[in-house]
Amino acid sequence: MIKFAIIKILISAVLIYIVNEIVIRHSKPLFGSMVASLPLVSLITFVWVWAGLRDNPEKQTEALAAHSTGVFWFVLPSLPMFLIFPWLLKKGLSFWPNLAICVVITALLYLGMTVILKRFGLEM
């Protein structure tokens, strides 16, 4: 089990490193953005859930479906951050305060999304 966890951590870290290298070292911000926008974390999570629960197909299906549905609904409130962040940078706000504002706004939007989903019977 520990060996599998180490493999998961290494593969996940390598993907993050690759995106970072594409953007910084190779000065390909648009390509790096495209790669980063791929749902890599979700795809990796699908694989890890599938592999971790392959002995329990019913739980596997339930976990994969719940993860996929949750990601869909929580991608929506995270999208404004990708417009607010560059706007604040261009307005002269430095990196750390900008990041803090974006985190707070996104957290509030997540909270709002959970309230909306709860009204429609979806518990997260």
pTM listed for this prediction: 0.75
User: Tens digits of per-residue pLDDT, 2-60?
Assistant: 888 898 889 888 888 887 787 767 777 777 777 777 788 888 889 989 998 999 999 99
Per-residue tokens: 17: 């490193």
The confidence score (pLDDT) of residue 94 equals 97
Residue 83 host element (H or E): helix 81-90
The confidence score (pLDDT) of residue 77 equals 95
For residue 8, report the phi and psi dihedrals to the nearest 5 degrees. Answer: -60, -45
Residue with tokens 């951050």: 81
User: Tens digits of per-residue pLDDT, 104-116?
Assistant: 999 999 999 999 9
Q: How far apart are CA 100 and CA 122, in angstroms?
A: 29
